Chains A and B, each alone.
Chain A
C-alpha cells in the first residue's frame, strides 16, 4: 500500500488526514547522502596526497604518487633517494597515522556519546588518557621496567590506559553497563591517575622530562612509524567494524533502556562490550600519538548535525571526516611555525572549539 492509499484509509475510517504543520528541513539528506561517503573518501585520499607533498621540502603531488607507486611494486621510475625517503619514511607514515588517529577518535567519541547519552562524552571519558599519562611519566621519569628491558613511552602509555580502564570497571562493579555508574567511575579514576602523575613529576622533576611529557600529552604525531601505522590500522579497522555491527543498538539506546530491551537488545551487555572496545581503541591511539583532544568531541557533533544520527551512516562518516580533519590539523601544526612544531592537540582545540560552538548554536528545537 502506498502513502496515498494509507492516507485515504485514514479518511475512510472517519478521520481527516492530518497535515504536517510546517515544512521543516528533512531529517536526512537521503538522496545526496548516498554519495556522501564515497565523496568524503575521495576527499580523504586527496588530502593525504596533498598533506604528504607539503612540508619544509615541498614535493609535487606527482612525485609523491611516484614514490608510493614504486614502493608498492608498480613499475615506475623511482624518485632519488632523499625525496623518496622523505615521502616514504617520514611524511607518509605520519600522515597516515594522523588519518587513522582522527578516524578512531571520532568513532570512539560518537559511540561514547550515544552510549552515555551525554553530548560531552569524548574518547578519554573512561580514564584512558590520564592512565596513559601516568604510564608515560612513569616510564620517562622513573624509568620503570617491565620484565628484562626498559619500556618505551608507547608501551608504558598503553599499559597505563589499560590499568585505568581496569580500575574503572572494578569501581563500577557488577553494573558496569549502566552509563551513569561507569561515567562516575571514569571521573574518579581520571582524577586519581592525574594525581599520581603530578606526584611522580613533582617527586623527580627534570625539566627536560617534564617538557617532553607535556608535549606528548598535548598530542603529537612526530613518533609515527610504519609499525605504529599498521597497529593503529588494525585497531581502528576492527574497532569500527564492531561498533558498526552495533549501529542499530546505538540508535535504539537514545530512547532509553526499557525501549532497547523491548526491541530485543541486551543494553547492559552491549554497552559493556562497546565501552571496552572504545577504551581499547582510545588506549592504542593515545599510546601512538598522545591524547589529541576535541577530535572525538567535535567531529561526531558536526557529522550528526549535518547528516543525522543513524549510526549506520554516522560511524563510517565520522571515521572519514575525523581522518580528514586530523590530517589537515597535523599538516598545519608541522608547517605553520616551521621548523618549530606546534603540538597538534593545541591546534585541534583551536579549531574544534569554534566548530563546537557553531553546532551548539545551530541546534534547534530541543529543551
Chain B
C-alpha cells in the first residue's frame, strides 16, 4: 500500500514520490495535543478534563465502552465541534485559529457511516476529498483523478471506480470513505470505528495500513486485541474521562479492563512485546 513502509520499500524507498508523480509527498505528520478538554450537549457533560498527545506519525487508539465519549472526543480533535473548555492544538496552533479549508488540507476524518442515497460513483465520492485543494469553480483535473484511483486501490477497491455508491456494501462504503480521506493528503487522520463493517481480513489490512501510514493517526476501536497489536499508544476512556494512557502493555492490564469494561480477562505478552487479551467472562 502506498504510504506504508512495505510499499515504500517496494517503490524504491522514496516514499510516495515515484517517477512523474504529480503529488510529491505532502504529508508532514502533525503533532496533536489536547488538554483539559471538556464538552457537553444540552447540559449533559460528555467529556471532562481530557488530555491526549499524539506524536508525529504515531498511531493512537481511543478505547472505552459505549458512551465513554470516544466519538465526541474524535469530533473535537477534528475541529468538527468546539470544546466548552480546554484546547486542541495542531502543531502548537489552536484548531479554531485555522480556517476551515486550510484545516481540511491537514485533517481528514472518517466518521461512522451516515446512510445516504446518492447516485454517485465510488470514484466521484473519492474525488470529493480533493475539494479543499481545488479552486471553488474548477473542475476535476487529471492529477486529481489519478490520485483518487490510487487511493481506491489503496483501500482495496481497484476496479470499483464506476460502481454506484448505492450498490456498495457497508464495508465497501467504509473503504471508499477511507479513500476519500486519503486523497486529502492529511497530516492527521482521524477514524471513528473504521472497522465496524469490515470483515476480519479488511480489518487487519486497514490497521496495518494505518500503523504504517505517514500521517499521524487517531482511531477509535472496540477490539482490544487489534488495538494492542497495531497502535503505538492507547488512551482508555470511561465516563468522559481518561482512565489511563500509554503503550498497549501499560494500558491493557487485567485490572484496568475489569475496572472499565467489567469483564474478566487474562493478558499475556506475546513474542512481539504486544499484549494478548483472553476473555474469561463477565466480572461479578
Contacts and interface: CB of A to CB of B under 8 A. Distances in A.
B10 A263 contact: no
B128 interface: yes
A254 B115 CA distance: 9
Interface stretch (A18-26, A35-43, A123-131, A199-207): A18-26
Contact of A15 (B2, B132, B137, B156): B156
A308 B78 CA distance: 31
A367 B11 CA distance: 42
A258 B109 contact: yes
Nearest to A262: B109
Contacts of A365: 164, 166-167
Contact of A248 (B128, B149, B154): B128
B121 interface: yes
A6 B128 CA distance: 20
A19 B6 CA distance: 22
* Chain A: interface size category: 35 or more
A258 B111 contact: yes
A305 B131 contact: no
B119 A261 contact: no
B121 A26 contact: yes
The A interface, classified by DSSP as helix, strand, loop or mixed, is: loop
Contacts of A20: 159-160, 163
Counting chain B CB atoms within 10 Å of each CB, the highest count among A251, A263, A312 belongs to A263
Interface string A1-16: 1110011011011110
B156 A251 contact: no
Interface string B105-139: 10111010011111111101100110110101101
Contact of A18 (B79, B109, B158, B164): B158
Interface in A106-160: 117, 119
Interface stretch (B96-104, B220-228, B246-254): B96-104
Interface in B143-197: 146, 149-150, 153-154, 156-167, 184
A10 B109 contact: no
A264 B103 contact: yes
Given A13-B6, A309-B119, A364-B167, A262 B156 contact: no
Contacts of A266: 100
Contacts of B132: 263-264
B47 interface: no
Contacts of A367: 115
Contact of B21 (A1, A24, A304): A1
Contact of B167 (A24, A119, A304): A24
A310 B123 CA distance: 12
B26 to A, nearest CB: 16
A308 B156 contact: no
Given A263-B104, A264-B132, A265-B100, A12 B109 contact: no
Interface string A347-367: 000000000000000001111
A255 interface: yes
Interface string B233-262: 000000000000000000000000000000
Interface in B199-238: 205
Given A6-B158, A7-B158, A264-B101, A366 B124 contact: no
Contacts of B80: 258, 261-262
A10 B158 contact: yes
A57 interface: no
B90 interface: no
Contact of B116 (A19, A254, A263): A254
A10 B120 contact: no
Contacts of B88: none
Contacts of B7: 9, 12-13
A170 B168 CA distance: 41
A28 interface: yes
A366 B169 CA distance: 10
A245 interface: yes
B129 to A, nearest CB: 7
B75 interface: yes
Contacts of A10: 1, 153-154, 156, 158
A45 interface: no
15 contacts: A9-B153, A13-B4, A13-B6, A20-B163, A26-B162, A28-B120, A119-B117, A251-B124, A251-B128, A252-B128, A252-B131, A255-B116, A255-B128, A263-B132, A264-B104
